[in-house]
Amino acid sequence: MKIIARLFAAGLLALTISAAADARPFTARDMVTLDRLSDPRVSPDGKWVLYSRRVVDYDANKAKSELWAIDISGKTPAAPRRLDASDGGGVSSARWGADGHSIYFLSSRGGSMQVWRADIGAAGATQVTRLPFDVGAFKTSPDGKKLLVSLAVFPDCPTLQCTADRIAAKAGKKTTGVVHDRLFIRHWDEWADGTRNQLFVLTFDEKGISADNPVAIMHGFDGDAPSKPFGDESEFTFTADSEVVYFSARLAGKTESWSTNFDLYGAYADGSGNLLNLTEANPAWDAGAVFSPDGRSVAYRRMKRPGFEADRWQIVVRDLAAETDRELAPDWDRSADAIAWSPDGKTLYALAGDVGQTRIFAITVKTGKVTPVTGAGHVSGFDVGPKGIVYAQDTLAGPAQLYSIGFKPGSKPVKLTNANAERLADVEFGQYEQFSFPGWNGETVHGYLVKPVGFDPSKKYPVAFLIHGGPQGSFGNLFHYRWNAQTYAGAGYAVVMIDFHGSTGYGQAFTDAISQHWGDRPLEDLRKGWAYALDSYGFLDGGRACALGGSYGGFMVNWIAGNWKEPWKCLVNHDGIFDSRFMGYSTEELWFSEWENGGTPWTAGTTYTTFNPADHVGSWTVPMMVVHGGRDYRVPLEEGIATFTALQRRGVESKLLYFPEENHWVLKPQNSVQWHDEVLGWLDAHTKP
């Protein structure tokens, strides 16, 4: 049992301040108003990097994305600059055109979300599409002659006008009743309206403006491309010759809400022929097709087990001529979240969680040899250019910055941005370190300790014990914008976070261990992690500690309330499950609850009642704050209301913080600050004199 890494805030010099008298702690207001860098894209010639910079207007309680660029053609990167294309509205999904200087992006500046084009060397932007519906996602073809867009339409409609007429007819009705004949009546935070995300191909004319007669290449397909609610253009692509489109989709039917069988389909870009299911043999998830530079191979990601959304993402390379599949690096026990080819086609780069970090790995296509490219920290996105890789990386010590790194093994990263430097110039972050201990079954479990700001080793500090959601997730070395450890450190708390069994990045067996064991194995890890932390860090005040969690973490808080309440002065449950059995009937993505509990709620031998917080309410005595969003359809509002009802009826000190317009997350800037004010006030009331 030893501390395995000391990853202090000094690693990001521009964002690190010594504990000087004039330094101030990091706050929730700081967190929500930080500019957020993401989505780096390297130009085809390797001279420029495009990226998105999200900026917040706190008073208006909203945010927008701007388009920025960095010239990296010189010996040292130039200063980042905001492109004029950002004027007139938000910009998202900026992508390089095949010519190397045109930039295509989505913007709603014309009243609806359409594709626009700008030039890296010119001012202003030109509208490309004028479609009757918002463009959800897009991709340009390799030959620069076609544009692939996703539109929400009725899949049985032969024309866009048909969809428009149906929408208008519905709007003109005075009745409001809606009839459903299958599940997914609502998903994440929206109710179903009968439309599907469908793909259309447009052809550019001689002026570079897309034609007005899009070709429906998915007409009649009962499914979404990209998937809802978080799918993007990584789920569809052109083949190297621009003649065929590959996309990932699930055939809906009656089974959509309990199926994870996404397949890769092929469709001719001109709309001729029938759809071809390219992965029909695999009953689980297939996604993320990317073509090799020579067009001879396609790599994609697949899962093995139907119904399990947290299965390991394998990397498969298909030889298109031979029509054979080969799993790349089958012994690499990590799950690939994204993949991209090297320019020479000899290497695939993959993004994966790895022992509390999220790294880029280089995988040799011929041998399957795996080599880490990036070090400690959390890579949120990357792009491969002709000379190297550009990526966005954050840590527990600060928000994301952009870096570049060469292909040669041992290359050192070059920092490209220093965003938020001025607004964080007087901020002190809590120092942090990773530790490990023997958890359930004697297996190694990892965690993080974040020291309070202004740390004095002679003092004792109250503790915020954070429990991550998922449960297949991780509170690793990352700068979270909802559960940010530094907001607690800034408020004077030491923070302890345990990556219990079920967490990602520690091998698939470790992730699998939580399924049908929500209340025993992870609870044992949390108990042992807490004991280890108290024994190893003498400044933790075990008598002044509160446990907090969201989603699965909220379930665990409810479970702790009846099964491990002794250490805690207070609890905070955000969007957590109260009644596991009812959750199996009321949530939208049924595959999740059915896999995690071993079947449907009416099936014998499942764990809905084995680990059901509702059955332990008689033991609840610890004060609890309950937080829930009115548009949370993943863990419905009634779970939070039931938790609060049980607490109040038993006479346990409790509060309910309700956000009518928020979903499973609290996203609006001012709501986030209110969340932190209420939660930290609750902690203060129970842990500080």
Q: 462: Cβ–Cβ under 8 A, 6 or more apart, which residues?
A: 492, 493, 494, 541, 544, 545, 546, 683, 687, 688
Q: Which of 113, 120, 259 is nearest to 183 (CA)?
A: 259
180 in catalytic set:
no
Positive or negative torsion for Cα 449, 452, 455, 460 = negative
Single out the residue of 315, 399, 322, 331 nearest to residue 365, CA to CA.
Answer: 315
Cis previous bond, 293, omega within 30: no
* Residue among 102, 436, 551, 654 flagged as catalytic: 551
Burial annotation 104-133 (CB, 10 A radius, 16+ → b, else e): bbbbbbeeebbbbbbbbeeeebeebbebeb
Question: Using omega within 30 degrees of 0 as the cis cutoff, is the peptide bond preceding 409 cis?
Answer: no
Q: Which residues contact 538 (CB under 8 A, 6 or more apart)?
A: none
632, 654, 676, 686: the active-site residue = 632
Active-site entry in 501, 664, 676, 686: 664
> Is 394 in the active site?
no
Sign of CA dihedral 495, 516, 652, 585: positive
Residue 574 is among the residues annotated as catalytic for this protein: no
Alpha helical stretches, state H, 373-479: none
* Among 596, 412, 585, CA closest to 521: 596
CA distance 543 to 567: 7
Structure tokens at 195: 């439309």
CA torsion 483-488-490-492 (nearest 10°) is 180
Cis peptide bond prior to 471, omega within 30° of 0: yes
Other CB atoms closer than 10 Å to residue 366's CB: what's the count? 8
First and final C-alpha spacing in the chain: 34
What tokens does 100 get? 């190397």
Tell me the two tokens of residue 626: 């309950």
140: which strand partners? 147
Chain centroid to Cα 491, Å, comes to 27
Catalytic center residues: 551, 632, 664
